[in-house]
């Protein structure tokens, strides 16, 4: 068995504890429990499919074999990544806040609460991903490229945690951050090509290379890679993969460093 | 460093009291430059060592900084300057229900506390019966701790702290909350831990209690350490001082 140092063992125990607590408390006192975690993405997919597929008659982007050409699946494959990102960023602020009183009374590494929460969200997303992959398999639209869905989700977790570490610390001081982040994420949902393919975006507008801006921003890269792997069954371009992993690593490193430098001050916030 | 040793090197702690501290971004941005900051030095240049296995007492008037020092040793706050090093598994009883999350049940809190001390779930499972028995909580162990009485809080807290086999135990007067019988059991248990070689740091202004228990006593006054040494002479000076009107102004600059 893997032998960890006492400090790492302690952190691992705490991450497990917080992950379990988050998972248990999520659907506490609800009869249908985990079922609710599917209802939200599925209704979103259904509503958007109706609005864009039926009302606007938007045809879903063409795939090679055409088996799963459906606006809902196109959307679901992008939404899964975007939702993981927002739930981690929003979650980080809440998780840190929920342990801050405890941290004023006893020492423990606060990052474990954020890591545990993120692990719980990742678990939920993996259930959604499982449903998506199962549907794709049933429609015989599945290939080994499905591993890129995993790559995209891992990059999203790293990137989301990096952002989450920073906003959680800032939110401990100024509660405005929570609302500001909410607004930015709402805007982000439409700026990231979740409901539309990136090819719909004009290359130039107002003298700005807006397609490149949309294409190369980190959440859009993750959405694109997930979609390549599970919807188009294509291998993402090397450029996209390199940029996505660079964004993920860099953001996580910066966020982690910032968090470590500031997290001891949490116990002195009023 | 040996297990159970605590070194406090030239430690100072400053708390910032910000008057009209901006609580939103808007305020913070609109009022640049005009912030009232009061620096308050709770501890100044405190320097000492606690030998492994000793029973160490911190005594001083209200607001002398003794509890802050204990919180620094517990790593809750970071010293503004200086350094504190501790070696060994440390368990702290700093205030009522310290380390308890109000919404979790007693049992869940026991696991959480164990995890914070680096102990596995399995270890806590083994210790659970002992903890329930020692605290006398009974069936309340599966109720959220927010409905506990203050006595139950402190009993469970103490039971957890001592059952995890600490190598360093920090206690901040909380034991005074329990009834006589419980206090006796606490004393017995602290003696037991001490025989096992656990370092114990106790904060109190009960001179009689400190005299009975401690090997060494440090006397803090307005954030500075005035005396350090054997209990009898330090306590004598401390009591003389307290009888003589309480606070000195000579130590304040």
DSSP state of B233: H
Count of positions (residues) in chain B:
253
- What is the model's pLDDT at position B251? 42
The residue assigned the tokens 């450029």 is A239
- Token reading at A187: 């805007």
Query: For all residues of chain B together, what is the average pLDDT?
Result: 81
Q: Which residues of B touch A264 (CB under 8 A)?
A: 77-78
- What is the model's pLDDT at position B125? 87
Q: Which of B74, B77, B115 is closest, CB to CB, to A268?
A: B77
Q: Which residues of B touch A6 (CB under 8 A)?
A: 118
Interface contact flag, B115 A17, Cβ < 8 Å: yes
The alpha carbon of residue A141 is apart from the nearest alpha carbon of chain B, in Å, by 43
Q: Which of B24, B26, B116 is closest, CB to CB, to A108?
A: B116
For residue B173, pLDDT over 50 is answered with: yes
For residue A270, pLDDT over 70 is answered with: no
**What is the number of CB-based contacts under 8 A between chain A and chain B?**
69
pTM of the model: 0.81
* Cβ atoms of B14 and B77 closer than 8 Å: no
Determine the residue of chain B that is closest to A265 in CA distance.
B77
- What is the model's pLDDT at position A44? 77
- What is the model's pLDDT at position B23? 65
Residue pLDDT, tens place only, B78-114? 899 999 998 888 888 877 666 788 888 888 888 888 8
* Cβ atoms of A129 and A80 closer than 8 Å: yes
Residue bearing the bigger pLDDT, A90 or B114? A90
Interface contact flag, A270 B21, Cβ < 8 Å: yes
Interface contact flag, A105 B76, Cβ < 8 Å: yes
Interface contact flag, A17 B117, Cβ < 8 Å: no
Determine the residue of chain A that is closest to B18 in CA distance.
A270
- What is the model's pLDDT at position B249? 47
For residue B14, pLDDT over 90 is answered with: no
Query: What gap in Å lies between CA A52 and CA A34, rounded to an integer?
Result: 28
In percent, the amount of chain B with pLDDT more than 70 equals 85
Q: B113 in the Ramachandran plot: left (φ > 0), alpha (ψ -120 to 50) or beta? A: alpha
DSSP state of A265: G
Residue bearing the bigger pLDDT, A247 or B22? A247
CB atoms within 10 A of CB A260: 13
* Cβ atoms of A185 and A201 closer than 8 Å: no
- What is the model's pLDDT at position A253? 95
- Token reading at B93: 């009883």
Query: What gap in Å lies between CA B177 and CA B182, rounded to an integer?
Result: 9
Determine the residue of chain A that is closest to B109 in CA distance.
A17
Q: Which residues of B touch A265 (CB under 8 A)?
A: 78
* Cβ atoms of A181 and A167 closer than 8 Å: yes
Residue pLDDT, tens place only, A11-50? 888 888 888 888 877 777 777 777 777 787 778 778 877 8
Q: Which of A17, A108, A175 is closest, CB to CB, to B24?
A: A175
In percent, the amount of chain B with pLDDT more than 90 equals 2
Residue bearing the bigger pLDDT, B184 or B9? B9
Query: What gap in Å lies between CA A238 and CA A242, rounded to an integer?
Result: 6
CA distances from B209 to A34, A141, A217, B61, B217 (A): 55, 76, 65, 15, 12
DSSP state of B176: G
- What is the model's pLDDT at position B196? 86
Query: What gap in Å lies between CA A195 and CA A56, rounded to an integer?
Result: 13
User: CB under 8 Å to A151, separation ≥6 — which residues?
Assistant: A225, A229, A241, A244
Residue pLDDT, tens place only, A207-240? 777 777 777 889 999 999 998 888 888 888 888 8
For residue B250, pLDDT over 50 is answered with: no
Q: Which of B15, B24, B77 is closest, CB to CB, to A174?
A: B24
Determine the residue of chain A that is closest to B15 in CA distance.
A268
- Token reading at A36: 């609710």
Determine the residue of chain A that is closest to B119 in CA distance.
A10
Q: Which residues of B touch A7 (CB under 8 A)?
A: 118
- Quickly state the pLDDT bin for B63 (edges 50, 70, 90): confident
Classify residue B36 by burial, with Cβ atoms within 10 Å: 0-12, 13-18, 19+.
Answer: exposed
Query: What gap in Å lies between CA B130 and CA B149, rounded to an integer?
Result: 20
Residue pLDDT, tens place only, B202-237? 888 778 888 888 889 998 888 888 888 888 888 888
Q: Which of B23, B25, B118 is closest, CB to CB, to A10?
A: B118
- What is the model's pLDDT at position B178? 65
- Quickly state the pLDDT bin for A194 (edges 50, 70, 90): confident
pLDDT, average across residues B63-86: 88
- What is the model's pLDDT at position B30? 67
- What is the model's pLDDT at position A256? 94
Residue bearing the bigger pLDDT, A161 or A135? A161
Count of positions (residues) in chain A:
270
For residue B4, pLDDT over 50 is answered with: yes
Q: Which of B203, B201, B209, B211 is nearest to B236 (CA)?
A: B211
Q: Which residues of A touch B (CB under 8 A)?
A: 6-7, 9-10, 13-14, 16-17, 21, 99, 102-108, 174-177, 180, 264-265, 267-268, 270
- What is the model's pLDDT at position B252? 38
For residue B253, pLDDT over 50 is answered with: no
């Amino acid at each position: 068995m893997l032998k960890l140092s006492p400090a790492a063992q302690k952190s691992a125990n705490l991450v497990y504890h917080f992950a379990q607590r988050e998972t248990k408390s999520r659907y506490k006192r609800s009869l249908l429990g985990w079922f609710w975690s599917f209802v939200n993405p599925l209704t979103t997919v259904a509503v958007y499919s109706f609005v864009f597929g039926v009302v606007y008659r938007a045809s879903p982007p063409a795939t090679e074999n055409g088996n799963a050409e459906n606006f809902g699946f196109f959307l679901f494959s992008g939404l899964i990544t975007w939702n993981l990102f927002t739930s981690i960023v929003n979650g980080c602020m809440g998780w840190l806040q929920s342990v801050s009183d405890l941290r004023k009374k006893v020492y423990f590494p606060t990052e474990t609460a954020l890591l545990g929460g993120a692990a719980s969200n990742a678990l939920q997303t993996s259930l959604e991903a499982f449903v998506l992959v199962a549907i794709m398999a049933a429609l015989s639209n599945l290939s080994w490229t499905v591993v890129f869905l995993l790559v995209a989700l891992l990059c999203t977790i790293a990137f989301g945690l990096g952002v989450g570490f920073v906003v959680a610390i800032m939110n401990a001081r100024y509660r405005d951050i929570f609302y500001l982040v909410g607004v930015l994420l709402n805007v982000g949902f439409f700026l990231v090509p979740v409901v539309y393919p990136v090819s719909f975006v004009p290359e130039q507008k107002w003298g700005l290379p807006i397609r490149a801006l949309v294409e190369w921003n980190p959440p859009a890269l993750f959405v694109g890679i997930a979609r390549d792997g599970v919807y188009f069954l294509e291998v993402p371009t090397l450029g996209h993969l390199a940029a996505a992993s660079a964004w993920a690593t860099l953001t996580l490193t910066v966020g982690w460093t910032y968090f470590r430098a500031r997290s001891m001050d949490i116990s002195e916030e009023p | 460093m040996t297990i159970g040793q605590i070194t406090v090197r030239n430690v100072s702690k400053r708390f910032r009291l910000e008057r009209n501290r901006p609580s939103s971004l808007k305020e913070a941005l609109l009022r640049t430059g005009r912030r009232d900051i009061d620096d308050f030095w709770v501890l100044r240049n405190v320097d000492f060592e606690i030998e492994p296995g000793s029973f160490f007492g911190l005594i001083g008037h209200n607001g002398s900084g003794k509890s802050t020092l204990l919180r620094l040793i517990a790593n809750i706050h970071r010293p503004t300057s200086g350094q504190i090093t501790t070696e060994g598994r440390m368990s702290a009883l700093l205030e009522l229900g310290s380390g308890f999350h109000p919404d979790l049940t007693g049992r869940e809190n026991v696991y959480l506390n164990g995890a914070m001390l680096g102990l596995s779930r399995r270890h806590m499972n083994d210790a659970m019966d002992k903890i329930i028995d020692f605290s006398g909580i009974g069936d309340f162990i599966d109720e959220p701790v927010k409905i506990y009485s203050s006595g139950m809080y402190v009993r469970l807290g103490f039971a957890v702290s001592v059952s995890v086999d600490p190598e360093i135990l920090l206690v901040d007067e909380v034991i005074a909350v329990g009834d006589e019988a419980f206090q006796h059991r606490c004393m017995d248990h602290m003696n037991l831990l001490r025989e096992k070689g656990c370092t114990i740091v106790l904060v109190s202004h009960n001179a009689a209690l400190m005299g009975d228990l401690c090997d060494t006593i440090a006397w803090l006054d307005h954030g500075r350490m005035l005396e350090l040494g054997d209990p009898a002479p330090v306590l004598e000076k401390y009591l003389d001082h307290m009888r003589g009107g309480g606070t000195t102004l000579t130590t304040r600059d």
